[in-house]
Amino acid sequence: MDLTTLKNLIASETGVAVYFSAPNCGVCHALRPKIEELFSEKFPSVKFVHVQIDKSPGISGEYSVFSAPTLLVFFEGKEFLRKVRLMSIQELQGTIARPYKMLF
């Protein structure tokens, strides 16, 4: 995915989650399936996008993502949530649930 495509997706979709990972990051690889499952089960209307920092440095730079894992959640084109490194699935679910119910 390129920067223009991602920007268009964020602008056109009500909800977008962007998960940034790095190739040699064990936490990234362990956390990704759990976060993907959370969005597919609890927040199915939010589009989930995975970005590898090493393959898309332009996207990482544009969104000021310099460490992995990082999760950005956008609602109606605006950044709603930014989680870097340590993130709890339960905490994510609690934080996202209220705006999700209001928008969908």
Q: Return the pLDDT at 45.
A: 97
Domain locations in the chain? 3-99
The continuous run of DSSP H or E covering 94 comes out as helix 89-103
pTM of the model: 0.95
State the Cα–Cα distance between residues 1 and 47, nearest whole angstrom. 14
Q: Is the pLDDT of residue 33 over 90?
A: yes
Place of tokens 């990051």: 25
State the Cα–Cα distance between residues 77 and 11, nearest whole angstrom. 5
In DSSP terms, which residues pair with 19 in a beta bridge?
50, 71
Q: Is the pLDDT of residue 104 over 90?
A: yes
pLDDT in tens, 47-96: 999 999 999 999 999 999 999 999 999 999 999 999 999 899 999 999 99
Q: Is the pLDDT of residue 1 over 90?
A: no
Here the tokens at position 78 are 């605006």
Helices 26-42 + 89-103 axis angle, to 10: 30
CATH topology classification for 3-99: Glutaredoxin (3.40.30)
State the Cα–Cα distance between residues 29 and 61, nearest whole angstrom. 21
